[in-house]
Amino acid sequence: MSIAQNLIALTKSLPKNVTLVAVSKTKPVEDLMEVYRAGHQVFGENKVQEMVHKWEQMPQDINWHMIGHLQRNKVKYIAPFVALIHGVDSERLLQEIDKQAAKHQRIIPCLLQIHIAQESTKFGLSETELDALIAKAINYPNVQLRGLMGMASFTEDTAQIQKEFAVLKNIFDRVQSQLTGFDVLSMGMSGDYTLAIEQGSTMIRVGSKIFGARNY
């Protein structure tokens, strides 16, 4: 199947309330344009330079999501246009996003990344750190906290993945009952998005299932 056919089949299979982020990292603009022409406007990238490059080349009505770990000194390059930053996991980063958003008279929507996987290599906050960060967000009026993001363990163990997504959903529900406009739960990738949707995901980040395997 072509990239466009993959996209269309996947879109059709999703519940209406789930937003698909087409993860286009490492892929050339022509591949992204195939997806765009098939009617899709939400793309996810994990490198600042690559996202800026594609933003410059492509139509202006695309929503660009930063899904990777974001360094503070690079926030300024995406602040003019980024639609959603998924991986916020420190106050220092939140502060920098706020500062750069203010420069562009914008309010930038962000998701806080929660550590749910067993692996210790993945970024993200504990639940205690999350609560502390949310309490401080009042000081950053040019950031809008829209929800949470998480990545499950890289494992074949379905029960384990389900458990991790359920943990994240639980935390999300608790925070959502306290904050208005907190409505995005970003969880699920090519290998586990069906499990994530079953556990209450509202946003999935899918790359290889649309674009094919990546060559690094």
The site for ligand PLP (CB under 6 A) is made up of 23, 25, 46, 67-68, 189-191, 205-209
Closest residue to ligand PLP using C-beta atoms: 207
Q: Between 135 and 216, whose beta carbon lies closer to ligand PLP?
A: 216
What dihedral angle (degrees, nearest 10) is formed by the CA atoms of 178, 183, 184, 187? 70
**102, HSE (Cβ side, Cα atoms, 13 Å):** 10
Q: Between 46 and 199, whose beta carbon lies closer to ligand PLP?
A: 46
Q: How far apart are CB 102 and ligand PLP at their closest, in Å?
A: 27
The runs of H, that is alpha helices, within the chain are: 3-13, 29-37, 48-57, 75-78, 91-103, 127-136, 158-176, 193-198, 208-211
3-class SS of residue 19: strand
**184, HSE (Cβ side, Cα atoms, 13 Å):** 24
Q: Between 29 and 107, whose beta carbon lies closer to ligand PLP?
A: 29
What dihedral angle (degrees, nearest 10) is formed by the CA atoms of 183, 161, 154, 94? 20
Q: How far apart are CB 105 and ligand PLP at their closest, in Å?
A: 29
Tokens of 27: 């892929």
Q: How far apart are CB 192 and ligand PLP at their closest, in Å?
A: 9
Q: Between 148 and 189, whose beta carbon lies closer to ligand PLP?
A: 189
Q: Between 68 and 147, whose beta carbon lies closer to ligand PLP?
A: 68
**What secondary structure letter does DSSP report for 205?**
E
Q: How far apart are CB 207 and ligand PLP at their closest, in Å?
A: 3
How many residues are present in the chain?
Answer: 216
Q: How far apart are CB 180 and ligand PLP at their closest, in Å?
A: 26
